[in-house]
Amino acid sequence: MNPGAPDLRELYQEVIFDHNRKPRNYRPMADANRHADGHNPLCGDQLTVYLHIEDEIVRDVSFVGQGCAISTASASLMTEAVKGKPVAEVEALFQDFHTLLTSTAPERDFGKLAALSGVREFPARVKCATLAWHTLHNAIIGAQDPARTE
Amino acid sequence: MSETVTTAPRRKIDAELPALDLASDFPILARPVNGRRLAYLDNGATTQKPDAVIDAESRFYRESNANIHRGVHWLSQHATELYDDARVTVQQFINAAHAEEIVFTRGTTESINLVAQSWGRAELRAGDEILITAMEHHSNIVPWQLLCQQTGAILKVAPVNDAGELDLEAFDALLNDNTQLVAISHVSNALGSINPVAALCARARAAGAVVLVDGAQAVAHQAVDVQALDCDFYAFSGHKLYGPTGIGVLYGRRSVLKSMPPWQGGGDMIVTVAFDRSTYADVPQRFEAGTPNIAGAIGLAAAIDYLSEIGMARIAAHENALLDYATAAVGAIGGVKLIGTAQHKASILSFLVDGIHPHDLGTILDTEGVAIRAGHHCAMPLMTRLGIPGTARASLALYNTRADIDALVAAIHKAQDIFGVRA
C-alpha cells in the first residue's frame, strides 16, 4: 500500500468485496408495499429499494440495480441491517450511519455496517455508500422523486 | 468520406522528432498527490496551466488592470489594447477571416447557448429541424432541447456505430430541407472519435443548414482552420486549451453573426440607450454585454502563444504517438475492454476493467497519483447507446509522457490485485 495515500484496505475491506460479489436480498419484491428509486447521476449508480412494512416494522427489504463496489455492498449490508427492525429505529440508524461516514462515530454497535466507516477517508465516495440509505428513506416516507446523492 | 484537412497525420513524426518533454513548464505537475508523482490524465475535463499563462494573468492584474472600452485614462486604453490583441491572437489561431468574428464568452457551453438563444430564436420556426449526433456532450444537446421547446423545432439525432463513429449514411438520410441547423462535436469528449467535420459541413451547407461545431475537445490537440472547415460557428473553452477557466470563444461567420439579434443586454453592447429605444453595437461587442473576463482573454492569448511556439502539428504528433502507446499498453491488460475504437481518434482512451466499476478504479488509481475521470462524461445518451453506465477515461495533453501511461498501467494492475480480478 502507498503510505502517502488514504488506506485502501480501510475502504475495500473483505466484507465489502463479499457483499459486492454476492449481494444479499438482491431481488425485486412482488408484495412490496413501498419502493423507491435512487440515482447518482454523476457516476451512473442506480438502484431500486423494495420494502414490505407491517405494523411499522420492516418485515422484508430488497434491492436491485447497478453501481460501484461501495454502493452495491452498502445496499446489501443495509438490507441485512434493517430487516425486522421498527421503522423509527431504521431511520435513527440511517442518521447514525451517515454521521459514521462523515464525522465522529456515534456510540452504537454498527455491526457489519462498520465496514463502511473507511469511506470517511474518501469523501468523494460518501455518496456511493449512502445512496441506498437515502433511497430506503424515500421509500419509507413515500417520496415521489428518485433519491439523489448529487 | 475523407478526413478533414486539419487533422495531423498519425504515426509519422514520432521517428523524426523526440517526444515532447514539457512538464516543467507546468508548476502543478511538480506537486505530489497522495505521496506519488502526479500522472494527470484528466485533460478532457480541464488542462493544467503553464507558467506563461499564470504569469500573464498575474501580470495583467499587477500592471495593466482597468476596465475596457470606456476610459479616457491611459490604463483603460492599455487594457483595451491587450484585450483587442487577445481577440486577434484567437483569430489567427483558428484562421478566422476577421477579428470581429471572435466573440469572447465564458466557455463552450455559453457559446452554444448564445447561438441557440440569439440565432436560434430568431431563425427557427415550428417544424424546423436541428440535427445533432448521438455522441454529443450534454452542452451540445440541452441548449437545443430548450430551443425546441421555445420554437417548436424538432431535434434529430444521427446515430453512432459500436466503434463510436458517426453513422455517415444515417447522417445523410436525416439531413433534409427542414434541417436548419447541424450541431456536431469535432472530437467526442467521451471516446475521442474525430468527426469528419469539413465533409459534414459541406453536406450540411449544401442542404441549406447552418453548422455549429463544438470544438471543446479539438482545439488543444490539432490545428483548427475554421475557413477550411467552412463552418458557421465554432465553439471552444479556454480552460481545455491550457488557458484560464471562465473564458471561451464563439467563432461566427461574419455574415451570420451580423444578422443575429443581441442575446444579453447591458453595457458595452449598445451604441445609444434611451427609454423608448436602444441601438446595439456591431459584432462582436453586441454579444459581449457587461465587463468581460479581461484577464481571462489575456491568459487565453498567452496559452495560444505558448502552443504556437511549440506548433500544433508537433503537439498532435506527440499526442497521437502517446495515444498509440497507451492504447497498446492498456489494451494489452487482461480484462480490459477499450470503449471507442474509431479509426480516427484524438487524445482520449476510454475503457472498462472486468470486475471493477469505473468509480472504484478511479479511487484506486488516485491513491497511486493517477488522475482519471470515471463516469458518463456528460454524454449520458452515448453511454445508453453503448449499453454501459460509464467508463474510465484517460485523456492526454502535450505534457504527458510514457511515464504517465506506465503509471496508469501499473495502477490498473494494482486495482485488479485489490479486487482479485487480475487475469
Q: Which chain B residues have a beta carbon less than 8 Å from that of A45?
A: 359, 389
From the number of C-beta atoms within 10 Å of its C-beta (0-12, 13-18, 19+), residue B9 rates as exposed
By C-alpha distance, the chain A residue nearest B369 is A5
Of A2, A3, A44, the CB nearest to B375: A44
- The phi, psi pair for B214, rounded to 5°, reads -85, 105
**Residue B314 touches chain A, beta carbons under 8 Å:** no
**Residue B376 touches chain A, beta carbons under 8 Å:** yes
| Short-list B125, B158, B128, CA closest to B141 | B158
CA dihedral B343, B347, B350, B353 (to 10 degrees): 110
| Short-list B392, B265, B401, B271, CA closest to B323 | B401
Q: Which helix (H) or strand (E) holds A65?
A: strand A57-66
Contact A4 B36 (CB under 8 A): yes
User: Would you say B164 and B191 are in contact if contact means Cβ atoms under 8 Å apart?
Assistant: yes
Contact B374 A43 (CB under 8 A): yes
B42 has which bridge partners? B395
Q: Which chain A residues have a beta carbon less than 8 Å from that of B390?
A: 43-44
Contact B364 A125 (CB under 8 A): no
By C-alpha distance, the chain A residue nearest B384 is A44
Give the orientation angle of helix A69-82 with respect to helix A14-21, to 10 degrees.
Answer: 90
Q: What's the rounded mean pLDDT across residues B394-412?
A: 98
The model's pTM: 0.93
Enumerate chain A positions whose Cβ falls within 8 A of a Cβ in B: 2-6, 8, 11-12, 17, 41-46, 66-70, 122, 124-125, 128
Active site residue B378: yes
Reply yes or no on whether the pLDDT at B392 is more than 60: yes
- The phi, psi pair for A97, rounded to 5°, reads -65, -45
Give the orientation angle of helix B358-367 with respect to helix B402-419, to 10 degrees.
Answer: 120
Distance in Å, alpha carbon of A43 to nearest chain B alpha carbon? 5
Q: Measured between alpha carbons, how far is B101 from B249 in angstroms, rounded to an integer? A: 10
Of B34, B357, B366, the CB nearest to A69: B357
**Residue B387 touches chain A, beta carbons under 8 Å:** no
Q: What tens digit of pLDDT does each residue of B36-60 get?
A: 999 999 999 999 999 999 999 999 9
Of B32, B367, B390, the CB nearest to A8: B367
- Spell out the CATH class of B53-308: alpha beta
Contact B389 A2 (CB under 8 A): no
Q: Which chain B residues have a beta carbon less than 8 Å from that of A10?
A: none
By C-alpha distance, the chain B residue nearest A3 is B35
**Residue B359 touches chain A, beta carbons under 8 Å:** yes
Q: What's the rounded mean pLDDT across residues B27-34?
A: 96
Q: Which chain A residues have a beta carbon less than 8 Å from that of B357?
A: 67-69
Contact B418 A4 (CB under 8 A): no
Q: Measured between alpha carbons, how far is B108 from B255 in angstroms, rounded to an integer? A: 21
Q: What tens digit of pLDDT does each residue of B306-362 get?
A: 999 999 999 999 999 999 999 999 999 999 999 999 999 999 999 999 999 999 999
Band of pLDDT at residue B241, cut at 50, 70 and 90: very high
What are the residue boundaries of the structural domains of chain B, listed by start? 23-49+311-419, 53-308
Phi/psi region, residue B127 (left: phi>0; alpha: psi -120 to 50; beta: rest), is left
Contact A2 B34 (CB under 8 A): yes
Band of pLDDT at residue B17, cut at 50, 70 and 90: low
User: Could you give the percent of chain B with pLDDT greater than 90?
Assistant: 91
Tally of residues, chain A: 150
Distance in Å, alpha carbon of B358 to nearest chain A alpha carbon? 7
> Any idea what DSSP says for residue B399?
T
CA dihedral A116, A134, B389, B416 (to 10 degrees): 0
Band of pLDDT at residue A104, cut at 50, 70 and 90: confident
In B201-314, beta strands by DSSP E: 210-214, 233-237, 248-252, 270-273, 278-280
User: Would you say B266 and B250 are in contact if contact means Cβ atoms under 8 Å apart?
Assistant: no
Reply yes or no on whether the pLDDT at B247 is more than 50: yes
State the ipTM, two decimals.
0.92
pLDDT in the model for residue A43: 72
**AA letter at B64:** S
Band of pLDDT at residue A149, cut at 50, 70 and 90: confident
Reply yes or no on whether the pLDDT at B61 is more than 70: yes
Q: Measured between alpha carbons, how far is B60 from B81 in angstroms, rounded to an integer? A: 12
Reply yes or no on whether the pLDDT at B86 is more than 60: yes
Distance in Å, alpha carbon of B241 to nearest chain A alpha carbon? 24
**AA letter at B100:** E
Helix segments in B121-225, DSSP class H: 121-123, 142-151, 168-174, 197-206
Query: Counting one residue from A and one from B, how many pairs have CB atoms under 8 Å apart?
Result: 63
Mutate to test the interface with A, among B33, B38, B357, B385 (most CBs of A within 10 A): B357
Of B357, B367, B368, the CB nearest to A67: B357
Of B360, B367, B380, the CB nearest to A6: B367
pLDDT in the model for residue A6: 86
Average pLDDT, rounded, for chain B: 94
Catalytic residue among B148, B201, B231, B378: B378
Q: What's the rounded mean pLDDT across residues B214-228?
A: 98
**Residue B364 touches chain A, beta carbons under 8 Å:** yes
Q: Measured between alpha carbons, how far is A99 from B268 in angstroms, rounded to an integer? A: 51
pLDDT in the model for residue B16: 59
Q: Which residues of A100-121 are buried (b: 16+ CB within 10 A; e: fewer)?
A: bbeeeeeeeebebbbbbbbbbe
Reply yes or no on whether the pLDDT at A142 is more than 70: yes
Q: What tens digit of pLDDT does each residue of B252-262 get?
A: 999 999 999 99
In order of start, what are the domains of chain A with their CATH numbers? 30-139 (3.90.1010.10)
| Domain B23-49+311-419, CATH among 3.40.50.720, 3.90.1150.10, 3.40.50.360, 3.40.50.1000 | 3.90.1150.10
Reply yes or no on whether the pLDDT at B6 is more than 60: no
Cis bond leading into B261, ω under 30°?
Answer: no
Contact A44 B35 (CB under 8 A): no
pLDDT in the model for residue B404: 98
**AA letter at A25:** N
pLDDT in the model for residue B10: 44
Band of pLDDT at residue B12, cut at 50, 70 and 90: very low
Band of pLDDT at residue A40, cut at 50, 70 and 90: confident
pLDDT in the model for residue B166: 98
C-beta pairs of B198-205 under 8 Å, 24+ apart in sequence: B198/B4, B198/B5, B198/B6, B198/B228, B198/B229, B198/B230, B199/B1, B199/B2, B199/B4, B200/B166, B200/B171, B201/B229, B201/B230, B201/B231, B202/B230, B203/B171, B203/B172, B203/B175, B204/B131, B204/B175, B204/B179, B205/B230, B205/B232
Q: What tens digit of pLDDT does each residue of B141-189 get?
A: 999 999 999 999 999 999 999 999 999 999 999 999 999 999 999 999 9
Distance in Å, alpha carbon of B52 to nearest chain A alpha carbon? 31
Reply yes or no on whether the pLDDT at B3 is more than 60: no
Q: Measured between alpha carbons, how far is B283 from B268 in angstroms, rounded to an integer? A: 11
CA dihedral B221, B226, B232, B235 (to 10 degrees): 30
Q: What tens digit of pLDDT does each residue of B72-83 get?
A: 899 999 999 999
Q: Which chain A residues have a beta carbon less than 8 Å from that of B376?
A: 43-44
**AA letter at B218:** A
| Short-list B114, B129, B121, CA closest to B147 | B121
Reply yes or no on whether the pLDDT at B372 is more than 80: yes
